[in-house]
Amino acid sequence: MKHTLTVMRYNLSDSLRPTAIFFFIYTAIVLLNALLSYLIPGGNTVGSDMSILIFLFICGVVGFRYNFFFAMANNVSRRDFFLGTALSGLLPSILSAAVMIVINRLVGLFYPMPTLYTLCFERERLIFQPDGVAISAQSAGKEALTLLMSFLFLAVLGFAIYLIGFFISTLFYRMSKLLRMTFWVVPWLLVVLTTLLWPILPQSVTGGLTRFFSAILGITSHSAWPPMATAMVLALFLTLCGWLLTRRAVLKK
Q: For 14-61, write each residue's pLDDT tens digit.
A: 666 677 777 777 777 666 666 666 655 554 455 567 778 888 888 888
- Under the banding of pLDDT at 50, 70 and 90, the label for residue 152 is very high
| Mean pLDDT within 139-159 | 81
On whether the CB atoms of residues 52 and 115 are closer than 8 A, the answer is: no
Q: What is the pLDDT of residue 156?
A: 92
- Is the entire prediction scored with pTM above 0.85? no
The per-residue pLDDT for 110 is 67
In angstroms, the CA 170 to CA 78 distance is: 12
**CB crowding 124-160: b at 16 or more within 10 Å, else e:** ebbeeeeeebbebeeeeeeeeebbebbbbbbbbbbbb
Mean pLDDT of 207-212: 85
DSSP 99: H
Amino acid at 175: M
What are the backbone angles phi and psi of residue 128, rounded to the nearest 5°? -95, 120
Pairing of strands 134-136, 126-128: antiparallel
* 117 in Cβ contact with 40 (< 8 Å): no
